Amino acid sequence: MIKNLVIVESPAKAKTIEKILGTDYIVKSSFGHIRDLPKKGVGIDVENEFAPTYEVSADKKSVVSELKKLTKEAEKVWLASDEDREGEAIAWHLSQVLGIENESANRIVFHEITSSAIIKAIENPRSINIELVNAQQARRILDRLVGFELSPVLWRKVKPSLSAGRVQSVSVRLVVDREREIIAFTAGNYFRVTATFTVVKDGETHEISTELSKKFKTLEEATLFLKSCHDFAFSIGAIDKKQGKKSPSAPFTTSSLQQEASRKLGFSVSQTMRVAQTLYESGFITYMRTDSTNLSNDAINAIDKEVTSRFGNEYFKHRVYATKTKGAQEAHEAIRPTTISKEKVSGTKQETKLYDLIWRRTVASQMQDAAIEKTTIQIATPKDKMFFVTKGEIVVFEGFLKIYDGNDKDTILPPVAIGDALNVIEAEAQEKFEQRPSRYSEASLVRQLEELGIGRPSTYAPTISTIINRGYVIKEDRDGIKREYKVVILNENGTIENVVRQENTGAEKSKLFPTDIGIIVTDYLKTHFSSILDYNFTASVERQFDDIANGELVWQKMLTGFYGSFHKSVDDALNEDSFATPNSRLLGVDPKTEKNVYSRMGRFGAMVQLGETLEDKEDIEHKPKYATLDKGMLIETVTLEQALTLLKMPRDLGNYEEYKVVVGLGRFGPYIRHNGIFTSIPKECDPYSIMLDAAIELIELKRKRDREKVLRTYEEDTKLQIHNGRWGAYIHYDGENYKADKTIRETLVDMPFEEVMEIVKKQMKATPAKKKSTKTTKKTTTKKVSAKKTTAKATAKATAKKATAKKAVTKKKTAAKKSALKTVKTVTAKKSKSEK
């Protein structure tokens, strides 16, 4: 007989807790949700107050079977899933499947995996909070309805296999709107004047770098000012010293941790959450999904002790931070170390870096302000109300900078006095350009979603992953472009020199860009489903979820209010004849062929087209020419010049070894095709200007590398080869790669056939699914993808057919219902009754 069975979400968490609780407790994992809405069908009875149908996932049946068996044997069952809404829902689903009554369920929650927290939770169990469960259910059902009804509209009106979602579509809109701001932006220019002076104090010469307080609109104005500076007697006009301070930031919420980890560590949003999850499950930090900045009294007392012992009493300051996030759950704590005295933890490089960031931010949040002395020096000029200005800053008292953000160096100015004479040694006016709006990074998109009140800590990372994985947004680096700017220089002899310099502008690092399909879908949804893409509306839905969680709103009532108008929009969209894909955008005329050039969306993505689309597909002579848009190009911004360059592809360079050498653009970049073999063109080579000789060199270089790659082929079976890789020799057999142990890599090439095959067989046996069934899996996957596309098309057609059938004779309704989506079916029936 089992005394106590504790069920948690993850196996890593289970191991940590089992060590704490001891032998009287068995801790098992549910591996997340054990059941959900069905994968096929909507699974929601709209007419019966949105009653959901849940089913145990196929991959969780063995888990559920084991948990049922253990539940029957246990004297007491403890449901210890996470303390947020998702965790509460998991506990509820477990109670339903395992036959545990809500009132008698021993629900325990803790925001840190420590002995004291877990023992306290065991001593204070509660029943399942059904309001939290209902809030999660409402979110899940609403999102299912939106996705299930909206996606077929996109399949029908835009392109098969697309999807839409309440939060994901708004997130894409943010990226699209920002891109359009950038496209519409016209950079104004101005001239900034800088000068370097020298001053002699106590026999030493000091340099002072300054900037003029006024910006000039034109080159002429800047030039006149510089001319007036020649032979002018410059001196110190004013010195202003002020005392300032810097205050520490609040402890981390989920959002602020994602943003700071991106800024300081270069982590993606999903990477931050993955590493934080590991730290939490290892017992190093508190729960990582929170929007609160609160710290417990125990934590604050521990920080007081840590700061005082390290730096002294004067460095500690008790602070209480107000949470600014809309709908924040103040009862939770901020993300902090579970043991404040533990400055370092063991783990991977990523784990130790993130823990260090969390530890420093937490401790710094309860430390004194840094005291700063700011000095501003003004230097008079020949023009009234214009001054050359320089600023200095020194830290008088470090405060929290002792451990956080304290790497900024002091800017120390020379010890000058008012009236000190100065000598100008260099002065110039440099053309500057206004900065366009910044594209979103993952972290800044999270910050924007949080400020708008869209989504919650648990949804930020999966939302961003979804919009990237579905091809609405891409995350990438982009090179900038060269831009010329003018400079006017005042030489020491008083002459004016005009020069033109170059700078790189517009370079992007790990930024989010909308794709053409993302733009088209966003435009369509804004036209036909404006409420779904409205920022305020989406935020109000989040607030309603909060009201449900607080017991202030009935979840069915909330869904009824949303669904009526939403479903009407679905019907209206399906009944319209218009489609989202825009007509071709005319870019201009090709001067060589005198044919029109268009940019448009094609079957395989965005492209440019030379010539008209023909109704007669057999007319090969007049068939238009196509080219895929290059990286960074969009249908609505590509120019005629860019299109004509793209249409040069593929380029026939001539023959080599009696075979054509052709340059083309592919999915993975530019390539050379020769005798059926593809060779990648490196970045430093321009595919539009590369000539035959250079192409032959690349072909031969690839051949050489391929020869060097194969170290040995066995006569007994030519499918068995020893290859040379980045980490040394490895085995290649029948299209699959097999690792060789470090100890034998150097001698692997000399191994006899039998010994090498033995290594292959052992690895095949260890991972049979991967090694033996790869080809079968690929075929099966292809069939599944094909089947999904077929189903999508069929469903879209059925939905459209259903919408049309509503206007027809009532006898046809029954037949139409059989092929329509279940959700459309139920609501249409309801609508038909009201019409009668």
Q: What confidence tens digit (pLDDT) does each residue in 80-120 have?
A: 999 889 999 999 999 999 999 877 789 999 989 999 999 99
Average pLDDT (699-725) is: 90
The reply to whether 287 belongs to the active site is yes
Q: Which residue has the higher pLDDT, 684 or 554?
A: 554
- Above 60 in pLDDT, residue 69? yes
- 431-483 residue pLDDT tens: 999 999 999 999 999 999 999 989 888 889 999 999 999 999 999 999 889 99
Pick the range with the lowest mean pLDDT from 383-397, 749-763, 794-808. 794-808
Asked whether 372 and 394 are in contact (CB, 8 A), the reply is: yes
- The closest alpha carbon to 122, from 110, 132, 104, belongs to 110
Q: Residue 548's pLDDT is what?
A: 95
Q: Residue 786's pLDDT is what?
A: 46
Pick the range with the lowest mean pLDDT from 66-75, 384-393, 469-478, 741-750. 741-750
613 falls in which pLDDT band (50, 70, 90)? confident
Kindly give, in sequence order, each residue whose CB lies less than 8 Å from that of residue 676, ignoring residues fewer than 6 positions away.
none
Average pLDDT (2-19) is: 90
Tokens 């840094």 sit at which residue? 370
Q: Residue 215's pLDDT is what?
A: 96
d(CA 442, CA 797): 37
Pairing of strands 74-79, 605-610: unpaired
Using alpha carbons, list the distances in angstroms from residue 739 to 346, 707, 712, 713, 717.
Answer: 29, 20, 16, 17, 19
Token digits of residue 272: 């931050």
Kindly give, in sequence order, each residue whose CB lies less than 8 Å from that of residue 107, ignoring residues fewer than 6 positions away.
79, 91, 125, 126, 127, 128, 129
Average pLDDT (664-677) is: 88
Q: Residue 834's pLDDT is what?
A: 41
pTM summary value: 0.79
Pairing of strands 625-628, 44-45: unpaired
- The closest alpha carbon to 424, from 748, 224, 195, belongs to 195
**Which residue among 280, 287, 315, 598 is the active-site one?**
287
Q: How far apart are the first and last CA of the chain?
A: 62
583 falls in which pLDDT band (50, 70, 90)? low
